[in-house]
């Protein structure tokens, strides 16, 4: 049984079909790549799976539960968490304060106890602080915990986005373009971080345009084109598929795995 199962997923904006009949599964512990040219529907699929958009057609099952109609925060509390194309951090706050946002998704006592500072609220906050410290050390951000997030290199800011997601105790993370705009060195660092996250038992779906990054990281790849599935399979099989090369990669990328 797949941890995440998407069946005949569709989304229409007015009369425009952004996504149509997309189906794929993600096994527990897997890293699945979701690729395609600009406008292929990748981010729309992530928005549908995470609950940011309402589904027009199809179903989404997560951890053997249908979550198609659940709001995003309820999916997150079940362990289905996402990051964003941009770093999505508060640049004027510390790294620790940013990562606490993720911890409070699953460790928040409620508005009134938090406002009154009850014993329960203090216990929740202490547990969240401990979790954040653990995540920061794990991702080699411990020395930067009290630094202003916006003052750090862009690659580190991307890692902070992953740390925010991890602090929510996810079963599956949806990573939207984690190495967009970073240097090759930073991309390698983020790849190592993602592999560390996977080894901890977290399942990952990743969108990115960096084919060398995707092919070296993912167990399987799903290719979207014009909002529909074009191909799926192992990185080597997909990235050498003539349909994929023609629609997306171009012949110069046919040797990306060499």
Nearest partner of 159 among 184, 178, 138, judged by Cα: 178
* pLDDT at residue 123, rounded to an integer: 58
Residues 31-58 pLDDT 10s: 999 998 888 899 999 999 999 999 999 9
* pLDDT at residue 151, rounded to an integer: 93
Structure token pair of residue 11: 């989304």
pLDDT at 199 over 70: yes
Residues 54-81 pLDDT 10s: 999 999 999 999 999 999 989 988 999 9
pLDDT at 104 over 70: yes
Instruction: Report how far residue 163's alpha carbon sits from residue 106's, in angstroms, rounded to the nearest whole number.
Output: 14
Compute the Cα dihedral for 133, 138, 143, 147 and give only its sign: negative
* pLDDT at residue 86, rounded to an integer: 46
Structure token pair of residue 3: 């941890």
* pLDDT at residue 258, rounded to an integer: 45
**Parallel/antiparallel/unpaired status of strands 65-66 and 220-225:** unpaired
pLDDT at 209 over 90: no
Domain ranges of the chain: 1-79+170-258, 90-169
- Which residue's entry shows tokens 């070296």? 216
Q: What CATH code would you report for 1-79+170-258?
A: 3.40.50.300
């Amino acid at each position: 049984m797949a941890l995440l199962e998407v069946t005949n997923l569709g989304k229409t904006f007015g009369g425009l079909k952004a996504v149509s009949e997309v189906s794929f599964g993600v096994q527990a512990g897997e890293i699945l790549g979701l690729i395609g040219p600009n406008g292929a529907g990748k981010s729309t699929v992530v928005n549908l799976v995470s609950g940011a958009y309402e589904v027009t057609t199809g179903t989404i099952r997560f951890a053997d539960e249908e979550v198609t109609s659940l709001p995003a925060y309820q999916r997150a509390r079940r362990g289905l968490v996402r990051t964003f194309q941009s770093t999505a951090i508060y640049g004027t706050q510390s790294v620790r304060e940013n990562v606490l946002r993720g911890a409070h998704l699953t460790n928040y006592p409620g508005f009134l106890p938090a406002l009154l500072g009850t014993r329960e609220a203090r216990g929740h906050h202490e547990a969240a602080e401990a979790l954040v410290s653990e995540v920061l050390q794990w991702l080699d951000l411990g020395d930067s915990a009290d630094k202003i997030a916006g003052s750090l290199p862009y690659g580190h800011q991307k890692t902070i986005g992953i740390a925010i997601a991890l602090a929510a105790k996810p079963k599956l993370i949806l990573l939207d373009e984690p190495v967009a705009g970073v240097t090759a060195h930073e991309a390698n660092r983020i790849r190592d971080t993602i592999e560390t996250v996977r080894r901890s038992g977290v399942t990952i779906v990743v969108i990115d345009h960096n084919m060398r990054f995707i092919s070296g990281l993912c167990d399987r790849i799903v290719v979207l084109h014009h909002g529909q599935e074009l191909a799926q399979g192992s990185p080597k099989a997909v990235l050498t598929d003539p349909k994929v090369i023609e629609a997306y990669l171009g012949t110069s990328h046919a040797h990306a795995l060499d």
